[in-house]
Structure 1
Amino acid sequence: MSGQTPDSLAIKNGIENPSLLSTHHFGIFSSRLNTNFKLSVPKNKTLSFNYTSGNLFHPFVEGYFPENPDIRKQFSETIWYLRPFNFIDQETTPAEYMNIVIDAVIKEFRANFTIPINNNQEFTIALRSYLITKGKHPFSVFTSDESIEWFHSNIAGGEDPYGRRYYGLNQVNFEYLDRNGNTLKLENNDFFIGGIEFSHHYYPAWSICQNRNVYFNFGSHLGINTSKFNPSVDIGLSANAVKLFPLKNQFQLNLGLGANILRKNLISFSDDAIDLGNNTYLGTFEGNLELSKSTKRGNYNALGINFQIQTRYNKKEEANYYHLKGKWREINGGWHHGVRTLYNNLSTWSLIYTYYQSKYKISLFIKQDLEVHNAPDFQTGIQLKVPIL
């Protein structure tokens, strides 16, 4: 049985996006899964380098989780910002407690090495690392605090809608106290290796699908997280499908749909690992539409739109009874995001441009959280991919 070899597509292999994973302050410590929208196994080994920059801002907020069943029931019948709770001590008012403040521009550096095994299978090794920064110009032109607040003041959003100016621009304030009393704290210019990831993809050769220009692949994934905050092993599974629409004049349209599930911390190497969300599993759904045009020289340009939604980090039912404290009077909006967004599904839209020629492929993208969870608010990235003959 031969692998997927779409007619007249010796160069264009479906949708080859850069890494579109967000620089979420919890997500960077786990081996989240990228979606694979390729049609077939590449002919050659490939090496890619991915750089991403994302601006995160969550003002200091405290979260209390009452343990008294009567209080939980009362709170579940009251909107979250009208729940009165005065914590005294664990004996009088038993409750779990956390606090968090996130203000930084996070840079991700990712290298991927993909090896074709045969016509149906490939193996990828990835290494990811992170740098915590203030996000000053000229190194964060689009994701700096100044750029984002200029946009808010002059185009949309209004003056200081989320309190960046109130707290001060171009700062790093990255600290999280989890419910077990463990602290995650990072400073400006802190650099760490997030982990190493291994992925295997299988491309079945189903003739009934190929005759309709529909292609599938299935992935199994293993991630070893190496940061001191979450030394652990994650595993995951993914399934992806691409529909190819050949058009006139060397145009083609690709529609991709993908889903994956990640089992976090299957193995933990520390009793003091940070609580990065009490949902054991993270699920992601992704849709991608890409229009491309090939040139007479065999190059191509492509423009794509990607939608991604990820399941919540914390268990949904806790949102029915938590009590939040923060500077809601001083900040126009979003004072509660540090805790509340951990209970929301996180969705983003990305716009991707790709240029290909035989010696390299380069991709650029911008990524926006339209629901303004600020996790991150705005993100940009670039990828360079080269074949190894």
Structure 2
Amino acid sequence: MWQRILFLIIACNLFVVKAQQNDSISLKNGIDKPSIISLHHFGIFSSRINQNFKTSANLNTSFSFNYASGNLFHPFVEAYIPKDPLVQEQQSQLIWYHRNFHFVDQETTPADYMNIIIDAVIKEFKFQLNIPINKQNELDVSLRSYLITKGKYPFSIFTSDESIEWFHSNIAGGEDPYGRRYYGLNQVNFKYTDRNGNILELHNNDFFISGIELNHFYYPSFLINKRKNLFFNFGTHLGINITKYNPSIDIGASANAIKKFVLKNNNEFHFGVGTSALRKNIINFNNVVDLGNNPYLATFESEIEFTKYTKKKNYNSFGINYQVQTRYNKLKEADYYRLIGKWKEINGGWQHGFSTLYDNLSYWSFLYTYAQPKFKITLYFREDLEVNNSPDVQTGISLTISK
């Protein structure tokens, strides 16, 4: 039912776009970039920072609805992390798939134990309110929620298992390169046991509100050079996570720079770069699942965007975004962990459920925006070219209405 409602909302707003006639629009405010944060199976339970590539605070209050869909797949894998420094040193001399550490019991061979299996299409529903404070400050308040699904047609056209495996079989990757077909398409298996024995488990059609985020952005006039079209902004971020798996508070900060190039025909190029740092779980309200023992998540992001104005001064913009995020687990553990999975049954990637938690995550996103004075719609496609399944493929749509 919710899919039909979403379709009707999109259809109605697209009709408004075509029907509305307005001869003028103010120049766009920097780069059009909605929330394109990845639907990572750990990340959805905590706040993360979406870089802000606007050049100034909004003049009017606006409301945005963001919908995203992402496919994640990690076969079942177990991890043993020896606690004895001597054993750690011995294992670090071997490549990870040749390590011979055998866990017997905590007294003779003490080790942390974890296991994970992730197979689902995650849907995100994010509601965001932007409130101007003055010419240099604004506040974003957002509510994020998620739905766990099997990802069947027609509601997951690009992110379904069938679409991804058709691409692998017919274009690139080969037949069932990571075992989706072996385990069965259109499944939900979402279970993680952390090193403390806590269990995170979700099922098909589970829906939950993950948290509330407060983001304050400051646009310092003394750093803005309008003659050179160079702009800066700084953000402070507070995330309140409310699920039973991670009731906690995160805090962070961000910095962004935007350069605008105006062409002879008044079309524009924008280039933005930004970085941020988030301290996860600075306060825990209860026992939480260990969603990565690296307490900090840092992000670097850049985007280039071309904007073409119509005769009525509406516009179309096309953007390419690159983002890299630091790892969820501390890198040193990758020197001595022991991973056990069904490596004989599938072609490759059986270890990714844990090995990718020790890698930086990177994504490429391709965005299209159409805007009129009071209305803006953005579509995006995001691809994980490093095959970290974070997620493998993600698509999204954002609708923004200004007062």
* TM-score in same-fold range (> 0.5): yes
SS of 2:225's equivalent in the other structure is helix
Alignment-mate amino acid for residue 79 of structure 2: G
The alignment's TM-score, normalised by the length of structure 2, stands at 0.93
Alignment-mate amino acid for residue 49 of structure 2: L
Distance 1:207 1:243 in 2: 12
Per-residue deviation, 1:298: 1.6
Q: Does 1:32 align with 2:48?
A: yes
Q: Does 1:326 align with 2:347?
A: no
Contact 2:210 2:243 in 1 (8 A): yes
Q: Does 1:268 align with 2:268?
A: no
Q: Does 1:293 align with 2:308?
A: yes
Distance 1:356 1:208 in 2: 25
Per-residue deviation, 1:375: 1.7
SS of 2:252's equivalent in the other structure is strand
When the two structures are aligned, how many residues end up with a matched partner? 380
Per the alignment, residue 340 of structure 1 pairs with 355
Per-residue deviation, 1:136: 0.3
Distance 1:22 1:340 in 2: 18
Dislocated runs of 4+, deviation >4 Å: none
SS of 1:32's equivalent in the other structure is coil
Q: Does 1:144 align with 2:160?
A: yes
Distance 2:399 2:279 in 1: 29
Per-residue deviation, 1:211: 2.1
Distance 1:380 1:130 in 2: 14
Contact 1:16 1:36 in 2 (8 A): no
Contact 2:150 2:188 in 1 (8 A): yes
Contact 2:25 2:313 in 1 (8 A): no
Q: How does 1:194-233 map to 2 (within 5 A)?
A: 194-206=210-222, 209-233=225-249
Alignment-mate amino acid for residue 278 of structure 1: N
Contact 2:25 2:314 in 1 (8 A): no
Contact 2:77 2:116 in 1 (8 A): yes
Distance 1:324 1:248 in 2: 58
Contact 2:127 2:143 in 1 (8 A): yes
Distance 1:378 1:243 in 2: 29
Distance 1:131 1:105 in 2: 9
Contact 2:364 2:385 in 1 (8 A): yes
Per-residue deviation, 1:237: 0.3
Distance 1:28 1:132 in 2: 11
Distance 2:379 2:223 in 1: 34
Give the percent of matched residue pairs that are identical in Structure 1 and Structure 2. Answer: 64
- Unpaired segments of 5 or more residues in structure 2? 1-23
SS of 1:220's equivalent in the other structure is strand
SS of 1:85's equivalent in the other structure is coil
Contact 1:259 1:286 in 2 (8 A): yes
Distance 2:318 2:279 in 1: 32
Per the alignment, residue 243 of structure 1 pairs with 259
Per the alignment, residue 8 of structure 2 pairs with none
- Unpaired segments of 5 or more residues in structure 1? 1-7
Deviations 1:172-216 (A, max 9, x none): 000000000000000000000010010110001136622211100
Distance 2:130 2:223 in 1: 25
Per the alignment, residue 158 of structure 1 pairs with 174
Contact 2:91 2:101 in 1 (8 A): no
Distance 1:185 1:170 in 2: 17
2:103 counterpart (81, 84, 87):
87
Deviations 1:130-167 (A, max 9, x none): 00000000010000000000010011110000000000
1:10 counterpart (26, 37, 42):
26
Per the alignment, residue 51 of structure 1 pairs with 67
Aligned-pair RMSD on alpha carbons? 1.1
Contact 1:250 1:295 in 2 (8 A): no
Per the alignment, residue 3 of structure 1 pairs with none
2:81 counterpart (36, 42, 65):
65
Alignment-mate amino acid for residue 383 of structure 2: Q
Q: Does 1:373 align with 2:352?
A: no
Distance 2:223 2:81 in 1: 54
The alignment's TM-score, normalised by the length of structure 1, stands at 0.96
2:299 counterpart (284, 291, 298):
284
Distance 2:223 2:236 in 1: 23
